[in-house]
Amino acid sequence: MRVLVFGQSGQVARQLARRCPAEVMARFLGRDQADLLDPAACAAAIADCDVVINAAAWTAVDKAEAEETAATVVNGAAPRAMAERCAALGLPFLHISTDYVFDGTGEAPFRPDHPTAPLGAYGRSKLAGEQGVLAAGGRSLILRTSWVVSAHGANFVKTMLRLGRERDSLNVVADQIGGPTPAGAIADALYTAATAMAQGAPGGVHHFAGAPDLSWAGFARLIMTRAGLACEIHDIPSSAYPTPAKRPLNSRLDCTGFTAAFGLPRPDWRAGLDEILQELSDAA
């Protein structure tokens, strides 16, 4: 199976490269080959493949508040152009989305069919991408995930490790609840779904996030414990840590549909965290 991946240096793209199955030939397009600010060029780059995965995105949540137009081109117009090209060629298209398409209210995990209501520019840009992919009319998979972490790029684990070595204590929000998701697990899920779709399986809108759910503060404590750091974590409300973009309080995702369709359960992020810590230690 020949897989064309948009993205090269991001967390998920890196893991797609590292965890590529032996029976898969994956080709990765970086920004120099396919700039998502040029949707037409991205569509034109799709050729000589059996499946397309879009692992590239605008992920700077706060920056999107000031640059929503650009974020919407990258997260909205580009995926739509890719999906339209895939539909014309009869190729399955897999696209990563986010829990930020929801408003974060309540405590129940969001089901894929729950009404969307983004709180900010980033969520609106990602929702535009979802709508564009679905409107393209081809065979597509939208995979919503949350709290992506890995040993690469900028993410919560690496930030906590850096600050945990520099400080005796940290204030971390405790009223935002979700499932941290190792990028490696997302890569495995995408390859599993891509293989099934290449063989005729339907796509749809699915959720895939790590388990168990917990707060950012709870996640920070586990990071410190597993890394052997003495940094103490103090719980604070989101109101005490204002950011340009409002974060959803509830990022829980109901992933039962993906498990039923593709046979993969929610990944245990604790095992993923240990792998990340080991990789960072080996690289030190």
Active-site annotation, residues: 122
Nearest alpha carbon to residue 223 among 144, 283, 147: 147
How many other C-beta atoms can be found within 10 angstroms of the C-beta atom of residue 224? Answer: 19
- Strand 93-98, strand 51-54: pairing: parallel
Structural contact between residues 180 and 147, judged by C-beta atoms closer than 8 angstroms: yes
How many Cα neighbours within 13 Å face the side chain of 198?
A: 17
41/32 Cα distance (integer angstroms): 11
Within the chain, what is the greatest distance between any pair of CA atoms? 57
Q: Which residues make Cβ contacts (< 8 Å) with residue 111, sequence separation at least 6?
A: 207, 254, 257
